[in-house]
Amino acid sequence: MMLRTKRNKLKLGLLEIFAIAVGALYIYPVFLMFNNSLKTFREVIVDVIALPSRLAIENFSTVVKRMNYGKLFMNNLIITFVGIVGIVFFSAITAYILDRTRNRYTKFVQFLIITPMLIPFQTFMITLLKTMNTFRLSGSLLGLGVQYWGFGIPMATFIYTNFMKTIPREIDESAMIDGATTFQTFMRVIFPMLKPITVTVIVLDVMWIWNDFLLPLLMVNSSEKTKTLVLAAYTFVGQYNTQWHFAMTAMVLAVVPSIIFFILLQKHIVKGVVAGAVKG
Amino acid sequence: MKINTKTRTKFETVLFTLPAVILVSMMIYIPFVSSGYYSLTKWNGISKKATFVGLSNFKTILFESPQFLKVLLFTSKYTAWFMVLSNVLALALAILLVQRLKLANFLRGLFFVPYIMSMTIVGFIWKFIFSEGFARLFQMTQWEFFRWSWLGDSKIAFYSVVLVGVWQQLGFYIVLYIAGLQSIPPDVLEAATVDGAGGWKRFFQITLPLLGPSITICLFMSLTNALKVFDIVLALTQGGPGGSTYTATLDIYREAFQNNNYGLGSAKALVFFLVVLLLTQLVLWFSRKREVEI
């Protein structure tokens, strides 16, 4: 028996070493990006693998200035914030009504809102630009944020509708008896109870909107003022494709917010991703 | 009074669902339907009027120019490789990461990192590795493998694109498989061990069948994600070398926004939509059938 546990321990130890080796190899490309963002131009050219002899922090101040990083960060923040607020509000209230009122109208609405989950964005992106020009939603940060409402509502409504089923009707009935209107009941009673699933929706949509590339490329790429972080990094790396130290710094600056977001909210993100996929 | 409340409820039902309906229609249905109309026209995107040409765009795509069919074939090949590799590797790593390892939690986080990064940046990182990184590794090791033209040779470039695509998304499927593995009741596995089932037997006869729902989800997600691949290819190869890594979405984008053939582009988009619909339904039907058999 003793021998057996000893052998198991050894096996587990070897497995641990193997797992660490695979993990290190897997993450090495990300490490390489950070590594080279901290080197001088000469050091990158001589040896991309070696560690920097001294940390070339000045790369960061240079790139932050050349990219206008502060402005880009704000742009991303505005787009993501506007997008999330609308998606959460409209999806939650729609899901509330769809779950509580069951008739032909709501069934049709549910079908109408959820079906687009099956339509890939790329199949209508060409005419989307024309449509958004007509509605005057292209070319501005606010407009782009509003566009995300339409694209985010199907999945969010679907997730919310599934969760609504778990909230007993007695809760809204008692609120109504106390004289609250439908809207008040939703805002004061139901919405707070949706919190765990709201976190899921927020996490999924932040990851999507913050890193989205194609929609911003179509809608806000023409002006420096409205570019997003990823768009600017894309252009920047294209321009500095021989000055890899600056290119790497720009890439690090583009992904660092996501990595911090992930480290801070790891548990919620993993849970949200599972919930989103299982329910989607 | 009673009628009053009823009318009011009806009014509220419409009022509170209307914003969502309008928004989804504006961003999705209107462009989608007008895409159907423009697929029947010749339109450069600038002039006010599009010329109606009937089904001639579809004739071009399907019979006259094999280019889009080639692109669809590439996308399907990419999708097949992506689905197999990401599911097999993710399941293997998920099994490794549910063992009682001291660093299990840390490693789970580690594998997820590429997934939260922008795909464009991921494409650039690998472009750097394939060119500068591999050149240096060749100097150090003299392994021929590092001297291959990973992005310059059309045959190898295909596998490079697959590799990067899988690398970026693997963490997502690992997380889903871990969730699936953790929902398998441990006593079922213990009972099998007591009955004398070895590791492989336990895996194929108990773990895998019980993972059915997770496998379905992962297959479906990997299918739709692979079919839509765009950013990574744009950053990594821009469709090259010699147009050998053009994906369907990249080709639709180029046809409309670079060649200014909005009509032809819309027609391609519609064909692509039908292909996606067909393949997703096929996979769903197949996995449902398999799950029932179990």
Q: How far apart are CA B277 and CA A19, in angstroms?
A: 38
A47 touches chain B (CB under 8 A): yes
Yes or no: say if A261 and A84 are a contact pair by the CB < 8 Å rule.
no
Q: How far apart are CA A227 and CA A250, in angstroms?
A: 14
- Helix H or strand E segment including B290: helix B262-293
Residue B36 is assigned to a structural domain of this protein: no
Count of beta carbons in the 10 Å neighbourhood of residue B144: 8
Say yes or no: A32 and A146 in one domain. Answer: no
Say yes or no: A40 and A106 in one domain. Answer: no
- Read off the pLDDT of residues B190-226 as tens digits, 9 standing for 90 and up: 888 888 877 788 888 888 888 988 998 999 999 999 9
Q: Quote the pLDDT of residue A124.
A: 94
* 3-state class (DSSP) for residue B98: coil
Contact check, Cβ <8 Å, B227/A120: yes
The residue of B8, B10, B24 whose CB has the most chain A CBs within 10 angstroms, and thus the best one to mutate to test that interface, is B24
Q: How far apart are CA B234 and CA B245, in angstroms?
A: 9
Q: How open is the CA angle B75-B81-B87, to the nearest 5 degrees?
A: 125
- Read off the pLDDT of residues A250-265 as tens digits, 9 standing for 90 and up: 999 999 999 999 999 9
Yes or no: say if A146 and B24 are a contact pair by the CB < 8 Å rule.
no
Residue B53 is assigned to a structural domain of this protein: no
A69 touches chain B (CB under 8 A): no
Residue B255 is assigned to a structural domain of this protein: yes
Q: How far apart are CA A101 and CA A109, in angstroms?
A: 11
Residue B162 is assigned to a structural domain of this protein: yes
Yes or no: say if A250 and A67 are a contact pair by the CB < 8 Å rule.
yes
Query: Can you say whether residue B52 is alpha, beta or left, with left for phi > 0 and alpha for psi between -120 and 50 degrees?
Result: beta
Residue A3 is assigned to a structural domain of this protein: no
Rounded to a whole number of angstroms, the CA Rg of chain A reads: 24
Say yes or no: A87 and A50 in one domain. Answer: no
Token pair of A5 as six digits: 């546990």
Check pLDDT > 80 for residue A5.
no
- Read off the pLDDT of residues A109-154 as tens digits, 9 standing for 90 and up: 999 999 999 899 999 999 999 999 999 999 999 999 999 999 999 9
Residue B227 is assigned to a structural domain of this protein: yes
Token pair of A128 as six digits: 């989307």
Q: How far apart are CA A233 and CA A253, in angstroms?
A: 9
Contact check, Cβ <8 Å, A96/B228: no
Residue B34 is assigned to a structural domain of this protein: no
B43 touches chain A (CB under 8 A): no
Count of beta carbons in the 10 Å neighbourhood of residue B39: 25
**Domain range for B281:** 66-293
Report the CATH number that the domain containing residue B207 is assigned in CATH.
1.10.3720.10
Low-confidence ranges of chain B (pLDDT < 50): 1
Mean pLDDT to the nearest integer, A161-176:
90
Residue A61 is assigned to a structural domain of this protein: no
Q: How far apart are CA A148 and CA A210, in angstroms?
A: 11
* 3-state class (DSSP) for residue B52: strand
Partners of B256 on chain A (C-beta within 8 Å) are 125-126
- Read off the pLDDT of residues A108-119 as tens digits, 9 standing for 90 and up: 999 999 999 989
Q: Which residue of B has its CA nearest to A266?
A: B109
Q: Per residue, what are the HEC states of chain A?
A: CHHHHHHHHHHHHHHHHHHHHHHHHHHHHHHHHHHHHCCCHHHHHHCCCCCCCCCCCHHHHHHHHHHCHHHHHHHHHHHHHHHHHHHHHHHHHHHHHHHHCCCHHHHHHHHHHHHHHHCCHHHCHHHHHHHHHHCCCCCCHHHHHHHHHHHHHHHHHHHHHHHHCCCCHHHHHHHHHCCCCHHHHHHHHHHHHCHHHHHHHHHHHHHHHHHCCHHHHHHCCCCHHHCCHHHHHHHHHHHCCCCHHHHHHHHHHHHHHHHHHHHHHHHHHHHHHHHHHHHC
Share of chain A above pLDDT 90, in %: 76
Which residue's entry shows tokens 């057996």? Answer: A4
Say yes or no: A86 and A225 in one domain. Answer: yes
B273 touches chain A (CB under 8 A): yes
Say yes or no: A26 and A95 in one domain. Answer: no
Rounded to a whole number of angstroms, the CA Rg of chain B reads: 24
Say yes or no: A42 and A145 in one domain. Answer: no
Yes or no: say if A127 and B266 are a contact pair by the CB < 8 Å rule.
yes
Say yes or no: A74 and A138 in one domain. Answer: yes
Contact check, Cβ <8 Å, A270/B108: yes
Residue A81 is assigned to a structural domain of this protein: yes
- In total, the C-beta contacts within 8 angstroms joining chain A to chain B are 252
Which residue's entry shows tokens 């992962």? Answer: B218
Say yes or no: A121 and A176 in one domain. Answer: yes
**Domain range for A37:** 14-56
**Domains: count for chain B:** 1
Residue A9 is assigned to a structural domain of this protein: no
Check pLDDT > 60 for residue A280.
no
Say yes or no: A116 and A35 in one domain. Answer: no
Q: What is the DSSP letter of B41?
A: E
Contact check, Cβ <8 Å, A122/B107: no
Residue B61 is assigned to a structural domain of this protein: no
B12 touches chain A (CB under 8 A): yes
Distance from the Cα of B245 to chain A's closest Cα (Å) equals 17
State phi, psi for B243 to the nearest 5 degrees.
Answer: 75, 15
Say yes or no: A232 and A141 in one domain. Answer: yes
Q: How far apart are CA B176 and CA B173, in angstroms?
A: 5
Residue A5 is assigned to a structural domain of this protein: no
Residue B135 is assigned to a structural domain of this protein: yes
**Domains: count for chain A:** 2
A237 touches chain B (CB under 8 A): yes
* Burial class (CB within 10 angstroms; exposed 0-12, middle 13-18, buried 19+) of A101: middle
Report the CATH number that the domain containing residue A215 is assigned in CATH.
1.10.3720.10
Partners of A27 on chain B (C-beta within 8 Å) are 110-111, 113
Tell me which residues of chain B, numbers 142 to 181, contact chain A at a CB-CB cutoff of 8 Å: 167, 170, 172, 175-176, 179
Partners of B117 on chain A (C-beta within 8 Å) are 30, 211, 255, 258-259
Tell me which residues of chain A, numbers 192 to 221, contact chain B at a CB-CB cutoff of 8 Å: 207, 211, 213-214, 218
Residue A213 is assigned to a structural domain of this protein: yes
Residue A64 is assigned to a structural domain of this protein: no
Q: What is the DSSP letter of B238?
A: T
Say yes or no: A94 and A205 in one domain. Answer: yes
Say yes or no: A109 and A168 in one domain. Answer: yes
A155 touches chain B (CB under 8 A): no
Q: Which residue of B has its CA nearest to A257?
A: B117
